[in-house]
Amino acid sequence: MKAYLLGRARNSAISLAGLIVLVFFLARLTGNPADLYLPLDVPAEVRHEFSEAHGFNDPLLVQFGRFALGLLQLDFGDSMRFHAPALTLVLNAFPTSLALAALSMGFALAIAVVTGSLGAWRPGGAFDRVTSLLSLAAASLPNFWVAIVGVLLFAVNWRVLPTSGTGGWEHWVLPVAVLVIRPAGLLAQVVRGSMMGTLGAGFIKTARAKGVQQRRIIFVHALRNAMLPAVTVAGDQAAGLINGAVVVEVIFGFPGIGKLMIDAITYRDFTVIQAGVLVTAVAIFVLNTAVDLFYALLDPRIRHA
């Protein structure tokens, strides 16, 4: 297990190094921040002083070397927009996005396990046909469209939920509901397919022959063996929620890492962009490793070496 973790850490470090280089140079392609932070008619010497103060007049390789040295000390520099350490801003916003992703993934898994398992119990029945149709539709709906419709119905027309912010539980309802729909639909299909294969296995037939209750067969014996494919998809979906809830956060004004990154790109706040990308990448690496380790708990036959 130790060798496996070290190998994953080594491979992830190589990927992170390539990502750092890519993000650093791509961020500079957006242009000179002086064009945004200074008036258009500002004298050339003022523009030169601004760029000199922030190190933008140095060659790109010199700027990258300075950034890499700071990165070794976990110092990404200060945000030009907020005049605060970029890493602090990212770490303050990240827990909100993480909580949003965790809540959404938890509800999505619960819905998928129940609907997928019950649908596999009686395939072709009325419940299975209805839930299969709904899950396919849910997996196909784009988040931005569902978010806009949700705001229009629940916030504008019916006025039962707020449109933005994180003041109370009611502010979380729409963002979580929007993010639940797509992974729940996809996972329900995966759970159903895996459960149908597992319910036909020999050990399930033996349990039925011994008179084990149908509910226990489905949710204890079969579900544990059918969850491996679902865990794989759930890990990918969870990483997508952490990395891809940007549109939902922007629409609902949710103060998470996604909205912070969009604002940083808009204002060419390079330090925040770099810190946000790196923190998100590390979080996804940790999540993927945790999913791999969880396999061994679900199936003792799996060993990491």
Q: Give the pLDDT means over successive 10-residue stretches in the chain (305 positions).
A: 76 89 91 87 88 90 94 92 94 92 94 93 92 94 91 92 84 93 94 91 87 84 83 86 80 88 92 94 87 72 56
Give phi and psi for 78, each to the nearest 5: -100, 145
d(CA 23, CA 166): 30
Q: Retrieve residue 97's tokens.
A: 């996005």
Picking from 240, 120, 118, the residue whose alpha carbon sits closest to that of residue 180 is: 240
pLDDT of residue 125: 92
Domain boundaries, the chain: 16-72, 91-298
pLDDT of residue 211: 87
Three-class DSSP labels, 221-264:
HHHHHHHHHHHHHHHHHHHHHHHHCHHHHHHCCCCCHHHHHHHH
d(CA 105, CA 124): 27
Give phi and psi for 66, each to the nearest 5: -65, -40
pLDDT of residue 301: 63
| pTM, full prediction | 0.86
AA identity, residue 301: R
Superfamily of domain 91-298: MetI-like (1.10.3720.10)
**Burial class of residue 176 in the structure, from the number of CB atoms within 10 Å of its CB (0-12 exposed, 13-18 middle, 19+ buried):** buried
pLDDT of residue 172: 92
pLDDT of residue 188: 95
pLDDT of residue 42: 87
